[in-house]
């Protein structure tokens, strides 16, 4: 599953309402996050692999 951060258009590994693979908390500003099936674009550890 992937989540997209709408202000930056970056796609992270993880799910809305939890933590992204790189450590972002998707519960902070939940309106900035949407569930997506797009390819992960975040290059940070935890998301990229």
28-48 confidence digits (pLDDT tens): 999 999 999 999 999 999 998
Where b means 16+ CB within 10 Å and e means fewer, 19-37 reads: ebbbebebeeeeeebeeee
By C-alpha distance, which of 34, 25, 32, 24 is closest to 2? 34
Q: How far is CA 47 from the centre of its chain?
A: 8
Q: Could you tell me which residue, 10 or 1, shows the higher pLDDT?
A: 10
- pLDDT of 49 reads 66
- What does the mean pLDDT of the chain come to? 94
pLDDT > 90? residue 13: yes
Element (H, E) at 14: none
Sheet containing 33-36, strands listed edge to edge, beginning at the edge strand earlier in sequence: 10-13, 2-5, 33-36
């Amino acid at each position: 599953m992937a989540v997209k951060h709408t202000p930056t258009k970056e796609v992270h590994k993880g799910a809305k309402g939890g933590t992204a693979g790189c450590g972002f908390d998707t519960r902070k500003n939940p309106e900035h996050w949407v569930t997506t099936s797009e390819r992960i674009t975040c290059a940070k550890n935890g998301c990229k692999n």
